[in-house]
Structure 1
Amino acid sequence: MRNFLVFVFFLLPIIAKAQNNNAPSSYDPHDIKITGYLQTQFQVAQSPGIYSWSGGDFSEHSSSRFMLRRGRLKVDRVDKFSSVVFQLDGTQDGLRIMDAFIQFHSPENKSLKFTAGLFNRPFGYSIVYSSGYRDFPERARVFQTLMPRERDLGAMISYKPNKAFSFITAELAVVNGSGLNARDYDSNKDIIGNLSFNFDSLANKKLHLGFGASIYKGTVRNNTTTVFKPINNGFSNSTDAANEGYNFRRDYYGANLQLGYKNSFGETTFKTEYIEGKQPGVAATTTTSGLAASTSFGTQPTGNLYLRNFNGYFFWLTQQIANSKLTAIVGYDVYDPNTDVDEAEIGMAGNNTTAGDIKFSTLGYGFTYALNGRLKLTIYNEHVKNDGTALPNYQSDIKDNVFTTRLQYRW
């Protein structure tokens, strides 16, 4: 983590300005304004019924599917000192709320803003960057696991100075910690802090630089007397009456960097983000897939908690081709839900490890083509890899690659 922070804060020579979801379509005063986007796609999996972070798991006997990945409808209104945002997401699974928040500031000074309601967790770069502008089909596995659906209920203070120091943004939020679920399952609240720097017009407006650091301090309430704590080659079993009702730490530390350069061939961008910390989870079982074992809880966990140390990161590289509407994209991400155990040790007798402790890496590549200012085609192939373990179903790399073709229309 320390080396990555040094890399972020001292590497100066490459990003496009983030499209922040925690904002109305424009801060210029306006009456009701409607914006949004629709993503429809066709996917082919390497084998039927795979667990996947590329739009969700495949059905048991299916290795291909058409689906509506996202159908966002955003309504907002802005006056001199306040705004309201309401966003819905409609897919083949139904209609659900994505954003619903009120934001206000002093009429004389817009530097300090207060936000309350349902909004994106202000952690790092990729969580708050809109899926309607992102070149890659999905966020990295680690962020989908730790912050599913990206949103949470709470309140936030944002500070962005005017004029000379407008490149700085500081955010501090207090949230339930249970995501989109309106019923928080304990009385504790989680704290999120984010500090970012964005320089949009360096080197004669050809170079863009952004970087930042984030922290998440939270807890998960345990519901049983038994807890599994990490040791060098697995977990130790701790049973104590004091464990029931105890709030165990859920702490994340992250850093991010974005670079962009407009050259004679076309714009080049490089983006990376790293996160590590402690994540309470559960054991993988026949009803809980390995992917879901370390997912953050939206409701009170009923099984024994597994306290895991984790890390994860991604690299995204895009290259516009000959200043055309065609852009090549390459991505690589890694999520290790348990850094205290090697893959060869997972499933060994007596160490209490499960499929929820397996490390996965994903190499993706493809291209996007902007057919016009609103319509975009994305072709993307993902190679998902895991090392062999001692578990019966994971003794070698499972066949869970995914190919995606997507059309997006934004208005």
Structure 2
Amino acid sequence: MIRKATLLFLLLGMLSSARAQEDSLSQKVEDLAGKVESMQEPFLGMQTDVENLKKLKLTGYMQVRFDYADSAKSGLNNEAKNSSISTFGNNFYIRRARLKVSYEPNPLTSKYVFYFNFGRSGFPTILEAYAQLFKPLNPAREYVLDLTFGQFNVPFGYEIEYSSSKRDFGERSQAENALFPGERDRGVNLNFGIQKPISWKVNFALLQGKGIGTGSTDWQDFTKPKDFIGRARFNYKSYYLGFSYYYGQTYVEPVPFSSTWTDKNQNQVVDSGEVAFTQAKNSKLFDKVRRGIDAQLYFDFLPFGGTALRGEYYQGFGVGNNDTRFQGFYAWFSQQLTTKFGLAYRFDRWDPNARKSSKGNRVDQHDFVFRYYWDANTRISLEYILPKDESVAGAKDRKDNIFRVQTLFVF
């Protein structure tokens, strides 16, 4: 009996000890789980930060140039006419230094962009600031509707939206520079695209109409209706075709009558021929119309590199404060020679007054480029620009050719 009681007592002690050990082990497990959980909290915070950083994207490029101009001479005056030409002769300068900040909280629904320029002036300016909202109309995203509002590229033609970091030539065509100052405007743009079987995209935009390169008050539009743009682009394999239409109005302020006296002989007397009169002019409102067609063809039949042919034609009336008829076009050939070398040529014509009775306004420009890819982020280009004025009896063509060396850095 005593032996049984002793055995029972020992069993109860062992059970009690095992239970105590189990409780202690459970406590240790709980403590360890708490420590692991406390370690996970900062990790989860870091994971959230990393996910947010993935939504933020920084890109940009810089163009450093040296221009050697035929028209170069000491002083500020020279014979350069084209807006793409350095108007101060031979110079080292930074043509473009740009930084783009993009944020995509959800690539399927929205995107927000700030685009800054630190170019010739040295002061930062905002080139683009817009929000873009996406609406896929089917799960495969073959049909997509998107709305852009803010300040963005004018959705006309091909050349405007083709980045300067990719373009063979230092500047866009003469027509584009004259018709769309700054290449950007403020407004809203609606796009609808279909990916299959033939990719095509249409867009309709309402814009201020002044652009961003016309002066300190270029954000103001003195016409009641906004400018309208319609564009359709089609793509089949490596062939692209686009049609663009732009309609707006330009308001020109009235000019009051005035007179200016210049005392040429400094005799303090108003003599004949020393007074100049400015006749009064009424304000005027005229239509601003641009029509365009563009095409791009890409081939890969040569053994040493790809070939690209691009072209665009502009026609309409209303340039700046003049309601004259204009036309212009460019033809652009680009050939990759090896993975390191390439060349390009562009013929660029611009006539701001295309009436038959008007002579001496047209400029034909030839651009020759040889490029070398230093690495994936750096490209060095040699460019020779030959503008030629429309011949008029008794007038000589200006000496305004440009030799340009440019280094492009992209990140």
Higher relative contact order (CA 8 A, sep 6+): 1
> Out of 31, 38, 56, which is 2:62 matched to?
38
Report the secondary structure of 1:135's partner residue: coil
- Work out whether residues 54 and 138 of structure 1, in 8 Å CA contact, stay in contact via their aligned partners in 2: no
TM-score w.r.t. the length of structure 1 is 0.73
Is 1:403 matched up with 2:371? no
Work out the CA distance in 2 between the residues paired with 1:56 and 1:363.
Answer: 13
Is 1:250 matched up with 2:276? no
In structure 1, stretches of 5+ residues that fail to align are 1-28, 201-207, 227-238, 282-304, 347-357
Work out the CA distance in 2 between the residues paired with 1:410 and 1:372.
Answer: 10
Report the secondary structure of 1:186's partner residue: coil
**Which has the greater radius of gyration?**
2
Is 1:197 matched up with 2:234? yes
Partner in structure 1 of residue 276 of structure 2: none
Pick closer, same or farther for the CA change 1:278–1:371 going to 2, 3 Å. Answer: same
Deviations 1:150-170 (A, max 9, x none): 0000000011124434x1011
TM-superposed CA distance for 1:186, in Å, is 2.9
- Work out whether residues 248 and 280 of structure 1, in 8 Å CA contact, stay in contact via their aligned partners in 2: no
Query: Over aligned residue pairs, what C-alpha RMSD do you find?
Result: 2.4
Pick closer, same or farther for the CA change 1:380–1:54 going to 2, 3 Å. Answer: farther
Alignment of structure 1 residues 308-387 onto 2, 5 Å: 308-321=324-337, 323-342=338-357, 344=359, 358-387=361-390
- Work out whether residues 179 and 319 of structure 2, in 8 Å CA contact, stay in contact via their aligned partners in 1: no
Pick closer, same or farther for the CA change 1:402–1:252 going to 2, 3 Å. Answer: same
Pick closer, same or farther for the CA change 1:280–1:406 going to 2, 3 Å. Answer: closer
- Work out whether residues 152 and 185 of structure 2, in 8 Å CA contact, stay in contact via their aligned partners in 1: yes
TM-superposed CA distance for 1:247, in Å, is 2.3
Is 1:106 matched up with 2:132? no
> Out of 167, 178, 186, which is 1:145 matched to?
178
Work out the CA distance in 2 between the residues paired with 1:240 and 1:169.
Answer: 48
> Out of 221, 243, 250, which is 2:251 matched to?
221
Work out the CA distance in 2 between the residues paired with 1:199 and 1:84.
Answer: 30
TM-score w.r.t. the length of structure 2 is 0.73
Partner in structure 2 of residue 297 of structure 1: none
TM-superposed CA distance for 1:86, in Å, is 0.5
TM-superposed CA distance for 1:137, in Å, is 1.4
Alignment of structure 1 residues 258-297 onto 2, 5 Å: 258-263=296-301, 264-281=303-320
- Work out whether residues 132 and 146 of structure 2, in 8 Å CA contact, stay in contact via their aligned partners in 1: yes
Partner in structure 1 of residue 94 of structure 2: 68
Alignment of structure 1 residues 48-87 onto 2, 5 Å: 48=72, 49-53=78-82, 55-59=84-88, 63-78=89-104, 79=106, 80-87=108-115
- Work out whether residues 50 and 57 of structure 1, in 8 Å CA contact, stay in contact via their aligned partners in 2: no
TM-superposed CA distance for 1:108, in Å, is 5.9
Work out the CA distance in 2 between the residues paired with 1:89 and 1:52.
Answer: 25
Report the secondary structure of 1:160's partner residue: strand
Work out the CA distance in 2 between the residues paired with 1:66 and 1:54.
Answer: 17
* Bigger fraction of residues in helix: 2
TM-superposed CA distance for 1:224, in Å, is 2.6
Deviations 1:260-306 (A, max 9, x none): 1012231111100001000144xxxxxxxxxxxxxxxxxxxxxxx43
TM-superposed CA distance for 1:324, in Å, is 3.1
> Out of 125, 131, 135, which is 1:96 matched to?
125
Work out the CA distance in 2 between the residues paired with 1:53 and 1:143.
Answer: 12
Work out the CA distance in 2 between the residues paired with 1:403 and 1:57.
Answer: 11
Q: Which amino acid aligns with 1:42?
A: F
Deviations 1:74-96 (A, max 9, x none): 00011141110100010131221
TM-superposed CA distance for 1:225, in Å, is 7.4
Q: Which amino acid aligns with 2:348?
A: D
TM-superposed CA distance for 1:405, in Å, is 0.6
Partner in structure 2 of residue 351 of structure 1: none
Partner in structure 2 of residue 8 of structure 1: none
